[in-house]
Structure 1
Amino acid sequence: MEQEQLHQLKQKVIKLLVAAADKPSQMLNLIDGIQRLGVSYHFTTEIEAALKHIYETCDHGHFDDLYTVALFFKAILMISTLLLSFVGYSDNKDFLSLVCNSRSSPLAIQLETGNREVFNKFKNKQEKFQECLIGDVVGILSLYEATHLRVRGEEILDEALTFTTTHLESMVPNLSNPIAEHVVHALNQPIHKGLTRLDARRYISFYEQNDSHNKDLLNFAKLDFNLLQKLHQRELSEITRWWKDLDFAKKLPFVRDRLVECYFWILGVYFEPQYWPARRILTKVIAMTSIIDDIYDAYGTLEELALFTDAIERWEISALDQLPEYMKLCYQSLLDVYSMIDEGMAKQGGSYRVDYAKSEEWESWPPKRLFDWVSSFPLIVEAASVINRLTDDIVGHKFEQQRGHIVSAVQCYMKQHGATEEEAVTELYEQVTNAWKDINAECLYSTKVPMPLLVRVLNLARVINVLYKDEDGYTHSGTRTKNFVTSVLIDSVPIN
């Protein structure tokens, strides 16, 4: 019954997209809503067609309001991403050169100048953003969100981020809800750096309060959220049984018991229904990684850790004998997890994937050449690793030092550069900012691998940004992270 209702509502949303085909502003607004409600994965073909139509027929000079221009800017970037995803792994080199490399191609011109030109109309003779924009809350918010798609060297977007952040912060005291809450949330967690399911859960409520909302789209988003939530609950229940059988909480009481948080982590990377094998596999992998992390950081002696490291490098059951008793449980469980993965992959003809996964957590089903690509440590993976390591180190710095932890990146920078703690944190956050720009550039311009793989790396960075925003939300998961988990995995969306 619910699946049939979902199908009927989906057809109505498709009709909305068709009806808006020759209304660029309306189409951009509709696509933005579909994405923010977390249901764009249902309409990939329709959105691709709509964006290409807008690109081919629309002149951004016809848009006069900041809100729509910002949406158009994001559409330009989406179009480039879509085109690259179509040809990025094909052998059509002539077409790829025409679209992406030719300085005279329409897309190249749009991408090189679009970041600047689409917003030039909102600047004064002094090349500053016009003060008259200050009263346009929705427009400034839209521009603010767009600035987080910037890459290195885009000065106008750097300026726009400073301009919009300053004015949005000053506006908040004079705004009423729900727009006030919307602005506060955006300042703390911009869309581009958030998690689809978490943001969708929140945006559904905001969208419903908008008098101009479309009832069919709203009901479709609500029903889809609840059906996906039920699927995710069933998956988590299955994985929890595996975890409880291991009984780490009792046998290794010094480790963090965070299976639900691990599942939430992986859900941030793959939430769509078809990725259930990846969620099942990687939740187990990251749960084991967490156990190993605690063994190294909080419990093991130097001698014991040397033995454990040797066992990991040997990767064979005979290494079990050299380990102390508490390590044997972890090592045996680790081997069992990868044996389970290997058996599943062998049935799919992909056992080679486990050879990579034994040293790296990775996507479950791509061709071998994609593993070769990621194992080369490309820029997007390097950037995501920087975000992961530095964000974790910055927010966990003081707590980790209290328990005699190894030195953090903050301490290393302070010692190396003779800097204060504040100076070190500022510099490391600047490196995180640049890493985000590198990720954006890779998503926009990379032609080596399909876009779906790049998105998984992007999503890993997003998870870190959400869980480690101002605090270690994984280690200390009892408040904010608990609320995240509750909203995504426990509380369903009320349907009138």
Structure 2
Amino acid sequence: MVNFLWTIGQSFQPHYGYGRRMITRLNCLITTIDDIYDVYGSLDELELFTDIIERWDVNAIDQLPYYMQISFLALNNFVHEMAFDILKEQEFNVVQYLRKAWIDQCRSYMVEARWYYMGYTPSLQEYSQNAWISISGPVILAHAYCFTTFPMTKESLASMEDNMTNIIYWSSMILRLANDLGTSSLELKRGDIPKSIQCYMNETGASEKDAREHIRYLISEAWKKMNRERATSSSFSQAFMEYAMNVARTAQCIY
């Protein structure tokens, strides 16, 4: 229910019915795999799980615990189902691009898992460099791109990899910072890594109130940069740009 509510905020138009169904399923997978890294997996299990995802090796899953086997196969089937749908619709194979988005996602989860087991608190900059990916903005937008862009080309998909300087980065950063403002206290209690608020407090000695104010300022600055990117970029379709904006808007609404 919650995962479908997110998709309504990101694409409410009737003709995006397929996209809402697929992104809802994607969000369910993100939620499940995020919990594997945050709650259920031991460090050794997570290292192995990440390695198998990086190689996308279905034949290696017997090395994993049962619950990780189920999760990887569900992910594999979902990625190939969506790639099949896009291939039928546009005669263009996106499977490698969707896999790469998930590989990047799980690598970022693994970084945070190592920090947690080390008891390490990164600087705000170091945290942010990883956290804009781990919040799942890029993987969501990689999948959304497939049903908001016609026609797709190798050149346009290559531009998806230039995340650090485009609207994907700023949308994901707002999603991350809004999430931290809304959930970090609860997540720390259940045993998660320090979020942007705690990283800033640890780095500067600021109070929690001042740290939260600083994160709100960063969100405001990110909006300015995203608006500027939208006004000047020609890399993406307007439909995709609006979707990216809506990811950030929905995050601030929900959190």
TM-score range, shorter chain: 0.7 to 0.9
Please state how far the C-alpha of 1:332 moved relative to its aligned partner: 1.0
* In structure 2, C-alpha distance between the alignment counterparts of 1:273 and 1:316, rounded to whole Å: 37
AA of the residue aligned to 1:357: L
Gap change, CA 1:447 and 1:332, over 3 Å in 2: closer
* In structure 1, C-alpha distance between the alignment counterparts of 2:225 and 2:91, rounded to whole Å: 31
Choose which of 407, 419, 422 in structure 1 pairs with 2:209: 422
In the other structure, the counterpart of 1:100 is: none
Please state how far the C-alpha of 1:444 moved relative to its aligned partner: 2.5
Choose which of 233, 238, 244 in structure 2 pairs with 1:451: 238
Cα RMSD over matched residues? Answer: 1.6
AA of the residue aligned to 1:434: E
Gap change, CA 1:356 and 1:268, over 3 Å in 2: same
Please state how far the C-alpha of 1:350 moved relative to its aligned partner: 4.2
In the other structure, the counterpart of 2:191 is: 404
In the other structure, the counterpart of 1:376 is: 162
TM-score normalised by L of structure 2: 0.77
In the other structure, the counterpart of 2:21 is: 280
User: Structure 2 matches for 1:317-332, cutoff 5 A?
Assistant: 317-332=58-73
* In structure 1, C-alpha distance between the alignment counterparts of 2:190 and 2:14, rounded to whole Å: 41
* In structure 1, C-alpha distance between the alignment counterparts of 2:190 and 2:158, rounded to whole Å: 39
8 Å Cα contact 2:87-2:94 kept in structure 1: no
1:364 counterpart = 2:156: no
Gap change, CA 1:284 and 1:274, over 3 Å in 2: same
**Deviation readout 1:60-89 (Å, 9 max, x if unpaired):** xxxxxxxxxxxxxxxxxxxxxxxxxxxxxx
Please state how far the C-alpha of 1:449 moved relative to its aligned partner: 2.7
1:301 counterpart = 2:42: yes
Structure 1 unmatched runs, 5+: 1-259, 469-496
**Deviation readout 1:343-397 (Å, 9 max, x if unpaired):** 2122224443232222133222321233222221133211111111111112212
AA of the residue aligned to 2:158: D
* In structure 2, C-alpha distance between the alignment counterparts of 1:355 and 1:283, rounded to whole Å: 21
User: Structure 2 matches for 1:179-258, cutoff 5 A?
Assistant: none
**Deviation readout 1:399-419 (Å, 9 max, x if unpaired):** 111112112111111111222
1:339 counterpart = 2:80: yes
Please state how far the C-alpha of 1:276 moved relative to its aligned partner: 2.0
Partner SS, residue 84 of structure 2: helix
* In structure 2, C-alpha distance between the alignment counterparts of 1:427 and 1:310, rounded to whole Å: 36
Partner SS, residue 364 of structure 1: helix
Please state how far the C-alpha of 1:313 moved relative to its aligned partner: 0.8
In the other structure, the counterpart of 2:182 is: 395
User: Structure 2 matches for 1:40-59, cutoff 5 A?
Assistant: none
The runs of 4+ residues in structure 1 deviating greater than 6 Å are none
**Deviation readout 1:318-342 (Å, 9 max, x if unpaired):** 1211111111111111111112112
In the other structure, the counterpart of 1:463 is: 250
- Structure with the largest fraction of helix: 2
AA of the residue aligned to 2:51: D
Gap change, CA 1:350 and 1:392, over 3 Å in 2: farther
* In structure 1, C-alpha distance between the alignment counterparts of 2:91 and 2:202, rounded to whole Å: 46
* In structure 2, C-alpha distance between the alignment counterparts of 1:398 and 1:280, rounded to whole Å: 31
Percent identity among equivalent residues? 32
**Deviation readout 1:440-467 (Å, 9 max, x if unpaired):** 2222232333322210100111111111
Partner SS, residue 94 of structure 2: helix
Partner SS, residue 329 of structure 1: helix
* In structure 1, C-alpha distance between the alignment counterparts of 2:90 and 2:241, rounded to whole Å: 23
8 Å Cα contact 1:391-1:465 kept in structure 2: yes
In the other structure, the counterpart of 2:3 is: 262
8 Å Cα contact 2:171-2:245 kept in structure 1: yes
Q: Give the structure with higher Rg (CA).
A: 1
Partner SS, residue 271 of structure 1: coil
* In structure 1, C-alpha distance between the alignment counterparts of 2:91 and 2:63, rounded to whole Å: 32
* In structure 2, C-alpha distance between the alignment counterparts of 1:346 and 1:409, rounded to whole Å: 40
Aligned residues: 209
* In structure 1, C-alpha distance between the alignment counterparts of 2:64 and 2:91, rounded to whole Å: 31
AA of the residue aligned to 1:325: Y
8 Å Cα contact 1:391-1:464 kept in structure 2: yes
Between 1:355-364 and 1:333-342, the stretch displaced more is: 355-364
In the other structure, the counterpart of 1:7 is: none
AA of the residue aligned to 2:156: L
Between 1:315-324 and 1:368-377, the stretch displaced more is: 368-377
